[in-house]
Amino acid sequence: MMYCRGVRGATTVERDTAEDILEATREMLQELIARNEIEADNVASAIFTTTPDLQAEFPAVAARQLGWRDVALLCGHEMTRPGALGRCIRVLIHLNTTRTAQQIQHIYLREATALRPDRATMTVAADTLASEADANGAAEATPAATGGSRP
pLDDT confidence of residue 125: 44
In this structure, whether the domain defined by 3-113 belongs to CATH 3.30.1330.40 is answered with yes
Q: For 93-136, how does the pLDDT look when each residue is reduced to its tens digit (9 = 90+)?
A: 999 999 999 999 999 999 999 888 776 644 444 444 444 545 54
Q: For 13-66, how does the pLDDT look when each residue is reduced to its tens digit (9 = 90+)?
A: 999 999 999 999 999 999 999 999 999 999 999 999 999 999 999 999 999 999
CATH 3.30.1330.40 residue ranges for the chain: 3-113
Going by C-beta distance under 8 Å and a sequence separation of 6 or more, which residues neighbour residue 48? 25, 58, 59, 60, 63, 73, 74, 75, 76, 89, 90, 91
| DSSP alpha helix (H) spans, the chain | 18-36, 60-65, 117-136, 143-146
Question: Between 146 and 90, where is the model more confident?
Answer: 90
Positions marked catalytic? 8, 64, 75, 78, 90, 108, 116
pLDDT confidence of residue 46: 98
Phi, psi of 122 (to 5 degrees): -70, -35
pLDDT confidence of residue 143: 35
Q: Is the pLDDT of residue 149 over 60?
A: no
pLDDT confidence of residue 120: 60
Alpha-carbon span 104 to 114, nearest angstrom: 20
